[in-house]
Amino acid sequence: MTFFVSVFCAAVCLTGAQQQFTYENNGAENWPLEFPTCGGDRQSPIDVNRVTPADLGPFQFHNYHLPADITVTNMGHTAQATLNMGTPPTLTGGGLRAKYVLDQLHFHSGSEHTYEGTRYPMEMHMVHHNIKFRNFTEAVASGEEDAVAVLAFFFEVTHHPNLAWDNLVRALAHVKEPETSQQVFPPTPLCLWLPQDLSRFYRYYGSLTTPTCDQVVVWTLFSNDIPISHHQIATIGAAKVTSLFFLTNQFVVQLQLEQWRHLKTPTGNKQTNTFRPAQLRNGREILFNQGWWS
CATH of the domain at 106: 3.10.200.10
**Which H or E run contains 188?**
strand 181-189
Fill in the DSSP letter of residue 270: B
Domains in the chain, number: 1
Fill in the DSSP letter of residue 278: P
Active site residue 129: no
Q: What is the pTM of this model?
A: 0.84
Q: Which amino acid is at 97?
A: R
Helix-strand-coil split of the chain, %, nearest 5: 20, 35, 50
| Positions of the chain with pLDDT lower than 70, given as ranges | 1-19, 230-261, 292-294
Residue-wise pLDDT for 224-272, tens only, equals 999 887 642 221 122 233 333 333 333 333 346 666 667 888 888 887 8
Domain that holds residue 71: 2-290
62, 65, 77, 108: which one is catalytic? Answer: 77
Residue-wise pLDDT for 198-213, tens only, equals 999 999 999 999 999 9
Q: What is the pLDDT of residue 245?
A: 34
Q: How far apart are CA 104 and CA 125, in angstroms?
A: 9
Note whether 58 and 5 are within 8 A (CB).
Answer: yes
